[in-house]
Amino acid sequence: MRRTKTSQAMASAAEVMRDAVGRLEFPSPVSYVYNPLEYAWQAHQAYLDQYARGPKRVLFLGMNPGPWGMAQTGVPFGEVDAVRGWLGIETPVGKPEREHPKRPILGFACERSEVSGRRVWGLFANRFGTAEAFFREHFVANYCPLIFMDSGGRNLTPDKLGVRQAEALERSCDEHLAKTLALLRPQFLVGVGQYAEACLRRAAGSSVGQDAQIVRVLHPSPASPAANRGWATAVEKVLVENGVWPEK
């Protein structure tokens, strides 16, 4: 697909963040760090080329990759079936330098389903029908491109990092988020969970995002009891009430 100025600029910004966070070191309890913008860059660039093609009215922001989602496909909330079947993206995927035996990277051959990604893309598919219709005014991004694990393979979210490491990570991720807002110029910033909302509020303190309305929706993780009680219905209600989506 032919790239646009926006998609090219988005890819350049992602490359800068990819390389900057790739140079960071993270002490215990972090034992493994995967950077899908390195080993799954082809898929991520395909996502930007296909869907980050101009200004968007709404930006959805997640926290960081899940082990069976973006870690496998390079696409935010990248549940394999949704990325292949609904987004129409499937590319070769490499391997991180150090791989935990409990968290192998199989790319599009991964048979595990990422619940969060299935819920997110399932909501959008149900509401808009096609990916093209959804991305006409919307875009989905992650704040941090890295996934962290302890020695046992347990997922560690960015908010569990030490202060010094979190500050270094946030500098690069904040810069990337500010570039994303400047390029896409969204009117609504939707934080998927509390952490993502806080990141958006920091970014909206700059001139590029200060006029946008910030909305928080429930994170779709199955670890959240509330998310397991009708996540899609609850999120759609919040988005309609805040004027992000019209009433059906």
Domains of the chain, by residue range, sit at 5-241
* Structural element, H or E, at residue 133: helix 131-135
**CA neighbor of 46 nearest in space, from 82, 10, 96, 95:** 10
Distance from C-alpha of 197 to C-alpha of 143, rounded to nearest angstrom: 10
Superfamily of domain 5-241: Uracil-DNA glycosylase-like domain (3.40.470.10)
Q: Would you state the torsion angle of the CA atoms of residues 28, 149, 116, 107, taken in this order, to the nearest 10 degrees? A: 150
User: Is 148:30 a contact under the CB 8 Å cutoff?
Assistant: yes
Residues of the chain with confidence (pLDDT) below 70: 1, 206-209
User: Is 146:16 a contact under the CB 8 Å cutoff?
Assistant: no
Q: Is 213 helix (H, G, I), strand (E, B) or coil?
A: strand
pLDDT in tens, 215-236: 999 999 998 999 999 999 999 9
How big is the chain by its Cα radius of gyration, in Å?
Answer: 17
The percentage of residues in the chain with a pLDDT greater than 90, rounded to a whole number, is 90
pLDDT in tens, 95-121: 999 999 999 999 999 999 999 999 999
Per-chain mean pLDDT for the chain:
95
Match 């509401």 to its residue by tokens: 127
Position 45 scores a pLDDT of 98
Position 108 scores a pLDDT of 98
